[in-house]
Amino acid sequence: MDISIKFWGLPLLAWIVLLPTIGATANLVFGRWLSRGAVYTIAIAAVAAAAGIAAYLVFGPLLTAFKQAPATAVIDQPVYTWIEVGKLKLDLVFRLDTLSAVMILIVTFVGLLIHIYSTGYMASDPRYAAFFGYLNLFMAAMLVLVLAGNMPVMFIGWEGVGLCSFLLIGFWYENESYATAGRKAFVVNRIGDFSFLLGMFLLFWATKDYTAGSNALDFRELAGNSQIQSTYVTSLWGGERLAAWAGIFLFIGACGKSAQIPLFVWLPDAMAGPTPVSALIHAATMVTAGVYMVVRLSFLYASSTTALAVVAAIGLVTSLAAAFMAFAQTDLKKVLAYSTVSQLGFMFVAAGTGNWVAAIFHLGTHAFFKACLFLGAGSVMHAMEHAGSHAPGDIMQMGGLRKRLPITRATFMVSCLAIAGIFPFAGFFSKDEILGGAWSVEPPGWPWWTGKVFWAGLLIAALGTAFYMWRLYFLVFGGEARSKPAGEAHESPPAMTGPLIVLAFLATIAGFIGLPHLKGVHPPAITHGLATWLEPVVSNEWNDPPPKEAKIAGGPESRLASDLAKKAPDAPCCCVPGDQAPGASAEGATTAKQCAQKPGAMCALSPTKHCVLEETSDGTTYLLMLIAFSIGGLGILLAWLFYARGPSKTVDRLVAGPLGPVYEASKHKLWFDEVYDQIIVRPFKIAARGLFEIVDRFVIDTVAVNGTAFVIGLFGRIARWVQNGQVQRYLVGIVIGAALVFLVAQWEHKATFEYEIDPSGNTVRLVADPGGGLSTLGKVEWDLDSDGRIDAVGPEITARRGDVGTVTMWIEDPISRKRISVTRVVIEKTPDSPEGSK
Amino acid sequence: MSNILFDVGYEHFLVLAAVLFLIGVGGVLVRRNALIILMSVELMLNAANMTVLTFARMWGDISGHTFALMVIAVAAAEASVGLAIVVAVFRGRRNVDVDRLTTLRH
């Protein structure tokens, strides 16, 4: 679908990106001359306008198109041809489909709230304009990333958010450790970006022949072109499919951006940035980029269960490890940082189990409650700082703030309930979707218990989440004030509490767009809205599963519903009508018997939400929900037991005693930084030192620089002897030079002659070449036929061909009168040749 | 039999011109007196003149004579300017040694 609404010659989608860019440019270039009011007006107006356009496009044209036919709900707006080299033709194309619609709404809306909040939080910062400029740039980069129609354009945004995170994390660069944190984020992200590039190149290499002359690496081409689909399953190195390698390379890139093991180490340090930045990085932008990318490429990951296994396993390990690391942190924002890492792990498990909708669902709800939590944390720290605290983030010095900061406390509690997964807050539904999906997933080639392992692991992580979040809550707001500033803190200004209230409200209700299907319960259609909405974009089918490993009741040949119905009439079946491409639109779960009533219908082995959850019975669904709910409750209960009145003595006893090593491990985030320092950073530094000594000090400084100077000096000393200012000495040089030129010119230049036989006629032209010395053009005599008589005279003669045989030429030196003779065979003559006779 | 007085060919003129030229070059290169250097330059010019005239005779071509007249005119002008400079320098410094006329060197 093409929406050709243009504004000043540019399509509307481009304006979504352009407006924050303009805001950023204005604030970064002219900001120093603008008043604070002007700065935040520009910044907020830019984001608000982008949010307005986004909302208009999504709820206007896109929704209309979606209602007509979900598959056509795409707004495609190329801006111009970006690169055209050989088989690579790239447009700078922005595409709004149902997936990017969800993302831009989250990004622009949460981003807008964070902008508003920042006006209060950063009110007294000297580099106000730069901060808002960077924030706008961050928004622009993230919007490029989510609206990109092909991978290289996505990469622009991908790098852009990396750059902006560096700028913003190191915003207070006067502090050395903050600047280091910024650099660390950048370098770690670069490692991931490199892998992302490798994955992108691999995909281009594999698909270049099928997209030649059209959009290379375009997501729609990659997803929809059947030839390209078949290249994904061709095996590459090590017998793995191409999709596995491309997927894993790209996922390592996602690990960098979305802070997964092993590249998560930058995120906790990223707390060095101003708190609104943390909120922006953790909620709306940056860390969600990896999850978004994996879901965007769902067709690729659906082609390789190996890649999916890697994604899910890394996600699970990360969610567990990060939850563990959060237990012992005493910095308010660090706890939240590990919580983000852990929740991102949840999202990757969802993506890795083919549960794309749940990944995006959790991404959305997490954006709301995590933004609320971070902004709440910012509010708390702001209050503590203004009350005179020197360590405003230290939760051990807080306590009792529920009385001092009532609004912040209320919103924080809502968000903590949401992240702990308590009904009916948003986190309950999204986390339950992930857990339920993990429980029931059976991708081809995986053992049946894999999903159950993921489910169990995530439950433990969820328990940890509830515990450490509520530990945080009780330490900050519960009990009595443990320091003087905590007893004197005041609530933050409305610019800060306003966004908190909005976000808390969303964290409460956002879950109701993704309810599971349950028999006998018929809530309005909007409650399943997200799954329906995303269905056209995400991949609903495993791409070409290995047949013998496909676990479908009745065997792989029974995917035709009528076949399956004969063997197992009551087998659960994800029914796809026969007149559509497999996986295009599953109608919902049913039994094989019912599905077989439609002619040609297929039973898809589908990972879509309708089908997967309905395959598990309602009883199981309720049970899973109950377990998830109880786990959340259990975590809160444990936190209450230990921390309701400040840190309890039991905790101190345990830490001092049996749990000491565990506590240390958590406190030092499992020594990841130390290990990296030992195995990567230090060897790297030693190598760099060696290179510095060898290459820089020796090769460049000594040999190249000083060596050049020495050689030039040497020649200079020689030349100085000649260049002495005495004209006569120079004249000696001229005379010697002239003599040399004369000698060289005359050297071995003997007299000879050239001949030219006319190809058509019967004449031969002979030209004397007098050679060097004094014999310049003396008298020239010719004997043309070697009979001893002189036949012709003159430096240049023309003779009949028949007269010419072996020619002798004499030149007489006009001065010395010496005769020089030259003999050359011009035309070979045999005695009996007819030419020989005259 | 050859007569050293009357059997004179082109080569004798050319060799004489070459010898004169080399004497001129040597004078320019080794003498320090500006006056002598000027005289040596005159010698070189006249050696060149003699060569040109010899070849003009050899080929029966009048243009060589024209060149020679031209060179004599230019040489006269050059000699007068050069001698004027030498005289002027001598008045100022009582000395025309080119090695010591270094005021304009740097």
Tally the C-alpha atoms within 13 A of residue A587's C-alpha that lie toward its C-beta.
18
In angstroms, rounded to a whole number, what is the distance separating the alpha carbons of residues A357 and A353?
11
Count contacts between A and B (CB, < 8 Å): 22
In angstroms, rounded to a whole number, what is the distance separating the alpha carbons of residues A570 and A568?
6
The string of DSSP letters for A313-380 reads HHHHHHHHHHHHHHTT--BHHHHHHHHHHHHHHHHHHHHHTT-HHHHHHHHHHHHHHHHHHHHHHHHH
**Cβ count near A752 (within 10 Å):** 14
| B37, closest residue in chain A (CA to CA) | A728
Among A267-271, A539-543, B34-38, the range scoring the smallest mean pLDDT is: A539-543
**H or E segment to which residue A764 belongs:** strand A763-769
In angstroms, rounded to a whole number, what is the distance separating the alpha carbons of residues A591 and A192?
44
The string of DSSP letters for A538-605 reads S--S-SS--GGG---TT-GGGGBHHHHHHH-TTSEEEEE-TTS-TTS----EEEHHHHHTSTT-EEE-
What's the pLDDT score for residue A317?
Answer: 93
Mean of pLDDT values over A445-451: 79
pLDDT tens digits for range A453-474? 889 999 999 999 999 999 889 8
In angstroms, rounded to a whole number, what is the distance separating the alpha carbons of residues A436 and A355?
10
Residue A838, pLDDT > 50, answer no
**Cβ count near A215 (within 10 Å):** 19
Residue A836, pLDDT > 50, answer no
* Residue A554 or A622, more confident: A622
By the 10 Å C-beta count (0-12 exposed, 13-18 middle, 19+ buried), A66 is classed as buried
Whether B30 has its CB under 8 Å from any CB of chain A: the answer is yes
State how far residue A811 is from chain B, nearest Cα, in angstroms. 16
Backbone torsion region of residue A364, taken as left when φ is above 0, otherwise alpha when ψ lies between -120 and 50, otherwise beta: alpha
Cross-chain Cβ contact A728/B29 below 8 Å: yes
pTM metric for this prediction: 0.70
The string of DSSP letters for B8-49 reads --HHHHHHHHHHHHHHHHHHHHH--BHHHHHHHHHHHHHHHH
Please list, in sequence order, all residues whose beta carbon lies within 8 angstroms of the beta carbon of residue A326, skipping any fewer than 6 positions away.
A334, A335, A338, A339, A342, A464, A468, A666
Whether B103 has its CB under 8 Å from any CB of chain A: the answer is no
Chain B residues within an 8 Å CB radius of A816: 11
* Residue B102 or A375, more confident: A375
In angstroms, rounded to a whole number, what is the distance separating the alpha carbons of residues A147 and A381?
35
Q: Which of A728, A736, A777 to mutate to test binding with chain B, by most B CBs within 10 Å of its CB?
A: A728
Under the banding of pLDDT at 50, 70 and 90, the label for residue A227 is confident
For chain A, residues classed under CATH 2.60.40.10 are 752-836
Under the banding of pLDDT at 50, 70 and 90, the label for residue B4 is low
Residue with tokens 């599905």: A595
Whether B70 has its CB under 8 Å from any CB of chain A: the answer is no
Task: Find residues 33-62 of chain B whose CB sits inside 8 Å of chain A.
Answer: 58
- Helices A426-440, A332-352: axis angle to 10 degrees equals 40
In angstroms, rounded to a whole number, what is the distance separating the alpha carbons of residues A451 and A439?
5
| B100, closest residue in chain A (CA to CA) | A726
Q: Which residues pair with A171 in a beta bridge?
A: none
Chain A residues within an 8 Å CB radius of B58: 814-815
pLDDT tens digits for range A383-434? 888 888 778 888 888 878 888 888 899 999 999 999 988 888 888 888 888 8
Mean of pLDDT values over A798-803: 80
Under the banding of pLDDT at 50, 70 and 90, the label for residue A572 is low
Cross-chain Cβ contact A728/B102 below 8 Å: no
Query: Of the candidates B11, B28, B105, which has its C-beta nearest A731's C-beta?
Result: B28
State how far residue A726 is from chain B, nearest Cα, in angstroms. 7
What's the pLDDT score for residue A613?
Answer: 33
Whether B7 has its CB under 8 Å from any CB of chain A: the answer is no
| A774, closest residue in chain B (CA to CA) | B11
In angstroms, rounded to a whole number, what is the distance separating the alpha carbons of residues A164 and A176?
18
Structure token digits, residue A228: 């390209």
Chain B residues within an 8 Å CB radius of A736: none
Chain A residues within an 8 Å CB radius of B102: 725
Cross-chain Cβ contact B29/A725 below 8 Å: no
C-beta of residue A731 within 8 angstroms of C-beta of residue B28: yes
Whether B98 has its CB under 8 Å from any CB of chain A: the answer is yes
Chain A residues within an 8 Å CB radius of B29: 728, 731-732, 735
In angstroms, rounded to a whole number, what is the distance separating the alpha carbons of residues A810 and A350?
102
pLDDT tens digits for range A749-798? 677 788 888 877 788 888 887 766 545 567 788 888 778 788 888 878 88
Q: Does domain A752-836 have CATH number 3.40.50.300?
A: no
Encode A127-155: b = buried (16+ Cβ within 10 Å), e = exposed. Answer: ebbbbbbbbbbbbbbbbbbbbbbbbbbbb
Cross-chain Cβ contact A815/B14 below 8 Å: yes
User: Which ipTM value was assigned to this complex?
Assistant: 0.80
In angstroms, rounded to a whole number, what is the distance separating the alpha carbons of residues A52 and A20?
12
pLDDT tens digits for range A331-373? 888 889 899 999 999 999 998 888 888 899 999 999 889 889 9
Whether B102 has its CB under 8 Å from any CB of chain A: the answer is yes
